Chain A
Amino acid sequence: MDSETLAALGEPNRLRIIELLRAGPRPVNDIRCRLGLRQSQASQHLKVLKDVGLVEMEPRAQQRFYRLRAQPLKQLHKWLDRYRHIWEERFEQLDEIVEELKRKEKSDAAGKDR
């Protein structure tokens, strides 16, 4: 699920749609006009976002409104945060080793000078 969500967000216009929908549900035409997309492009992007569960459609009067779904984004955020933490933690552990090697090198050099 995560990689599909990532892939769905990977297209710049789809990310713009998501950002636009943060303010609240919008009708398809409004999304299309604000982002300068053709009807077919807008429909296609919205379909991809709907398929991975990032947005849902709700009919209101004669219009189709799209609304953001929080859950997949929250899951993705949690996952990416974990990814960042893995690297950060590795690098912090590596910092310690590097400091130790620096001290050792220094004391070895001092030993030679004596």
Chain B
Amino acid sequence: MDFLLSADSAGDKLLAMVVAISLFVAVMGILLFAVDRPKNVPSWVVFLAFVGPAGALLVFGLIRPAIITIYQSFFDRTGANFVGFDNFAQLVSTNDLRQVLVNTIIWVLVVPIAATFLGLLYAVVVDRSPVEALAKALIFLPMAISLVGASIIWRFMYEFRADLGDAQQIGLLNQLLVLFGQDPYQFLLNGPWNTFFLIVVFIWVQTGFAMTILSAAIKAIPDDVTEAARLDGVSGTQMFRHITIPGIRPALVVVLTTIAIGTLKVFDIVRTMTGGNFGTSVVANEFYTQAFRQSNAGLGAALATVLFILVVPIVIYNVRQMRLSEEVR
């Protein structure tokens, strides 16, 4: 049964996968069979059989570890000595770590606004065009690409060759710079702008999401309303400001907050593009570095806790907006 814990050939791995799925199906099958067969099983037993497995996993894998992590954030790197708020103080007082916090705030301000703006713009200009489906698919595609893949795509765009004699640029952006008589630029090395060049990657990925949701919202605005406005001689921009924007306001909030939450957790891009070097690290990346590379469990836990604290108000706002609009309904 070795292959179950240490599969190293392709066959063993696939076998382990089949075993895992079969095992899962068998366990669930027996469980459901057990509560279905006998007559008059108490209803709470049936409920437990349905909810229990998921509930147990959530308690084990989300609630419990979250509590442990928050607790650990008050301990030192080994987790043995209580240090109070020292880890958090370190985040604010160390220059490098303060840079991490500042970068995270820049990310979370720029990405949602830029992606939502571009997504809305695109949704409006392609709305009801004959090639709408194709046009949307083009913007949409980056969402299917992993953030690692997206990072490689953009590293290639940013690729730099020193301007020596006849060496040609192979990165498109530097080629354009050279074409316009500028010197090639180290997009990923030179702070503070390198953070913005990383942000571009995530905007590129998230715009499709914003466009999809906002496009659906625009289409849900009743035709009568736009029709009436048009008959009243309302111009295109006025229509946008007074009809479209108010009509899609709740969707805008959902899009902005959802992208903000995703942005806070972005890790793959920073890690793949710069490894968090050159002053580009963010909380989610620094968490990984501290917890699993520097073996500083205390500081890692503190960074994870900060992430948690940053996410909570955005989610609460998001949920409240959803609730509000449901009540009006």
Q: Is the pairing of A and B real? A: no
Chain A contact residues, CB within 8 Å of chain B: none
Chain B contact residues, CB within 8 Å of chain A: none
